[in-house]
Structure 1
Amino acid sequence: MLSVSIKPYLPYLLLGVITSILFWSPDTVKLTLEYNRSALANGELWRLFSGHLLHSNLYHLLLNLAGLLVIMLLHAPLPHRLNLGWQILILGLATSLGLWLFSHQIDLYVGLSGVLHGILCFGAVLDIRQGYRSGLLILLGVAAKLAFEQYAGPDAELAAKIAAEVAIDAHLYGAISGVLLGLLLFNRTPRR
């Protein structure tokens, strides 16, 4: 008989529920939570985190929830990983700071994709430490995707579907942050 614990999956499911609830929240709530450069300059620092929990439309939300599901299936069952809540806080802050410091053209941002790139890369680095060959393949795949995005620019077709410009810089900053966080915790993660 196969016994599977649901406990490792709960943080991912909770994140999915929170982003879904916020999607259906009133516009006044969304305006208070989105990454907004002017509001951040006025001290509304919660936006460094909360903007990642919002989405521009239903397609955008479903796309990010699908990415979260894939990452959950890849990384949730693996032992000795940093709690997802901490990953979201650290990677959300790092991604937003990257946008703030290096992407001055981005005034507004919503979406989980930058953080998802970070979680995926963080997990891939720890996969390598724990002896899973898939970690290197994931990192190479993400690196190729990011290089193509930076070369070709935002995908116009996807932008039309999500009703917003694709913030490829958020993907880049999230991925870099995930790799750095993984390297920071590399030696603290036991080998398989």
Structure 2
Amino acid sequence: MNGEVWRLITGPLLHSSILHLLSNALFLMLVGPLTWYLYSYKNIGVLILGSSLGALVSTLLGTYTNNSPFDTYVGLSPGIFALYGLVSLSGILNRKLLPAGIALHLGFIAVISIVTASIYINSAANGSHWAGLLFGMAVGRSATTKIQED
């Protein structure tokens, strides 16, 4: 808020604990290869934009709801959830993209993970997780529409 825009860019490169780093790595390993296969290098843009959007949402929510800046945004979680949103909604809208049930399964993993983190982790950036997932779904909707038009 005080000209510290760099926090939006550096936050995704940091993690709050080893458990946070490992859980981000695990979730990225689950969806990353599938996303790379379906969308090649473009998924990196979704990951980075989803993380940046999540950082912005967390910062704004913390600033305007708690009256103090939310300055502890760390990790790639919103970007990873953006990948889950991208793949799951694309697979639901285009049944030729993924085997039956895989798209729903990935969406279920994302939603359960967000809800579980909000229940068990006091410092979870819930707004950024949901923002990432919704951003990925919007990109998935757009990508699927473009594929169907071609």
One fold, TM greater than 0.5? yes
Residue 36 of structure 2: which of 73, 76, 81 is its match?
A: 76
TM-score by length of 1: 0.61
1:155 lines up with 2:120 in the alignment = yes
**Number of residues of Structure 1 aligned to a counterpart in Structure 2:** 140
Which ranges of structure 2 fall in alignment gaps of 5 or more residues?
none
Report the Cα offset of residue 65 of structure 1.
Answer: 0.9
Inter-partner Cα distance in structure 1 for 2:59 and 2:142:
23
State the Cα deviation string for residues 16-41 of structure 1 (Å, max 9, x = none): xxxxxxxxxxxxxxxxxxxxxxxxx1
Residue 44 of structure 1 corresponds to: 4
Percent identity of equivalent pairs: 24
Residue 14 of structure 2: which of 50, 54, 57 is its match?
A: 54
1:112-151 matches, within 5 Å, as 112-131=76-95, 132=98, 133=100, 134-146=102-114, 148-149=115-116
Inter-partner Cα distance in structure 2 for 1:175 and 1:127:
15
Residue 59 of structure 2 corresponds to: 100
Bigger Cα Rg: 1
Residue 143 of structure 2 corresponds to: 185
Change (3 A) 1:46 1:107: closer
Work out which structure has the larger RCO, using CA pairs closer than 8 Å and 6 or more positions apart in sequence.
2
Q: Which has the higher helix share?
A: 2
Inter-partner Cα distance in structure 2 for 1:142 and 1:88:
15
TM-score by length of 2: 0.75
Which ranges of structure 1 fall in alignment gaps of 5 or more residues?
1-40, 160-164
